[in-house]
């Protein structure tokens, strides 16, 4: 299985720093998760029921009707490749690697693309996977652009799959409201904006026949009663959502400014994370880890990704950024002098 962020226990062992002393910036999820309320005991004692109000809450939050709750958007990422015959599937060269991994595992042919390639390959593929906004690059696609590609794919009986796991902070480009169209599949997550990665909950938006097929394959009780209860409550909590959009956006600007100030480089990313491409990415990762801060080293080792710190972590994070980039910049200067 692939390696993702959030493996704090193994970092604690490797660097010999107790788990509770780490600051975890490796996952790119809201560090101040939606607050967990007291749970009714029926969530534990009774089997989950589908008429519990979750669907209505989700339809209200997403402003779309044709949806299916799943145990995290990951569950849909794993299932979709099983629902098509052998296909040519275009996946981003840099992006959440589970898409490529799952389609390949099911015997499909992969085509890796950089965004400018899409126009060139669109007529020769069956499935296009867009991650909007992309994790980790932060690249975005407008509605017009995505819908144009969908039209081409639809005329070829193909699929456009849009992974919108990170879109909640700015939904202008979301395609959920178009997803009743055949061949358009949109994935959403409760893990990122709501910070509830452990609840394992998300939604698929697609035409009804495909949703029914997915539901059938996933079987009974795909989400636990606790997941359904927490997801419903979080989706209905518009006061928390509004407040957090503002807080996250402020925190995101602060992180952007800190990275620019200390590294002299401009990161890309989304509201929830910033990605810094850097020739010394591995060394940066190492220096942060030595200080008990877990960040994400990109799979190609050419950059690092920072999630947002919690309110009380900012002071320490600022000082660790100062120390780390002092060493990085000094090492670069020595290298330059050697070359001169």
| Contacts to ligand PLP by CB under 6 A | 4, 72-74, 96, 131, 135, 163, 165, 189, 191, 197, 202
Q: Nearest distance from residue 74's CB to ligand PLP, in Å? A: 3
Cβ atoms within 10 Å of 147's Cβ, excluding its own: 16
Euclidean distance between CA atoms 340 and 217, whole angstroms: 63
3-state secondary structure of 68: strand
**Contact assessment for residue 2 and residue 97, using Cβ atoms and an 8 Å cutoff:** yes
Q: Which residues contact 236 (CB under 8 A, 6 or more apart)?
A: 57, 60, 61
**Contact assessment for residue 166 and residue 59, using Cβ atoms and an 8 Å cutoff:** no
Q: Which residues contact 155 (CB under 8 A, 6 or more apart)?
A: none
Q: Nearest distance from residue 16's CB to ligand PLP, in Å? A: 27
**Contact assessment for residue 31 and residue 308, using Cβ atoms and an 8 Å cutoff:** yes
Q: Nearest distance from residue 133's CB to ligand PLP, in Å? A: 9
Q: Nearest distance from residue 195's CB to ligand PLP, in Å? A: 11
Residue (11 or 287) nearer to ligand PLP, CB: 11
Q: Nearest distance from residue 99's CB to ligand PLP, in Å? A: 8
Q: Nearest distance from residue 131's CB to ligand PLP, in Å? A: 5
Residue (28 or 225) nearer to ligand PLP, CB: 28
Euclidean distance between CA atoms 154 and 277, whole angstroms: 36
Residue (4 or 330) nearer to ligand PLP, CB: 4
The terminus-to-terminus CA distance of the chain in angstroms comes to: 45
Residue (235 or 328) nearer to ligand PLP, CB: 235
Complete edge-to-edge strand list for the sheet that includes strand 67-70: 67-70, 202-205, 184-189, 159-163, 127-131, 88-92, 109-113
**Contact assessment for residue 33 and residue 227, using Cβ atoms and an 8 Å cutoff:** no
Residue (135 or 174) nearer to ligand PLP, CB: 135
Q: Nearest distance from residue 192's CB to ligand PLP, in Å? A: 7
Residue (269 or 324) nearer to ligand PLP, CB: 269
Residue (22 or 203) nearer to ligand PLP, CB: 203
DSSP class of 272: T
Q: Nearest distance from residue 29's CB to ligand PLP, in Å? A: 8
Residue (204 or 320) nearer to ligand PLP, CB: 204
**What are residue 49's phi and psi, to 5 degrees?**
-120, 140
């Amino acid at each position: 299985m692939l390696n993702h962020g959030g493996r704090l226990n193994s970092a604690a062992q490797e660097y010999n720093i107790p788990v509770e002393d780490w600051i975890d910036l490796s996952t790119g999820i809201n560090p101040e998760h939606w607050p967990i309320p007291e749970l009714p005991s029926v969530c534990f004692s009774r089997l989950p029921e589908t008429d519990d109000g979750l669907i209505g809450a989700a339809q209200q939050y997403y402003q779309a009707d044709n949806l299916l709750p799943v145990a995290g958007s990951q569950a849909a990422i794993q299932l979709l490749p099983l629902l098509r015959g052998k296909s040519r599937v275009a996946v981003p060269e840099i992006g959440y690697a589970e898409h490529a991994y799952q389609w390949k595992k099911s015997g499909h042919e992969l085509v890796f693309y950089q965004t400018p390639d899409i126009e060139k390959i669109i007529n020769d593929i069956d499935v296009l996977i867009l991650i909007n906004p992309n994790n980790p690059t932060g690249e975005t696609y407008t509605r017009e652009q995505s819908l144009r590609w969908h039209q081409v794919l639809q005329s070829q009986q193909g699929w456009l799959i849009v992974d919108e796991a990170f879109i909640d902070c700015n939904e202008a480009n979301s395609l959920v409201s178009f997803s009743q169209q055949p061949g358009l599949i949109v994935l959403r997550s409760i893990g990122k904006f709501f910070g509830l990665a452990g609840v394992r909950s998300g939604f698929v938006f697609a035409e009804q026949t495909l949703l029914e097929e997915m539901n059938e394959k996933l079987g009974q009780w795909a989400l636990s009663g606790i997941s359904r209860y927490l997801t419903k409550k979080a989706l209905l909590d518009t006061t928390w959502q509004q407040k957090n959009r503002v807080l996250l956006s402020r925190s995101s600007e602060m992180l952007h400014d800190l990275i620019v100030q200390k590294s002299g480089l401009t990161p890309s990313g989304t509201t929830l994370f910033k990605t810094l491409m850097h020739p010394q990415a591995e060394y940066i990762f190492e220096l942060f880890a030595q200080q008990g801060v877990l960040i994400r080293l990109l799979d190609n080792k050419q950059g690092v990704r920072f999630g947002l710190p919690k309110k009380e972590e900012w002071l320490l994070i600022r000082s660790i950024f100062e120390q780390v980039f002092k060493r990085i910049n000094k090492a670069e200067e020595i290298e330059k002098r050697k070359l001169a």
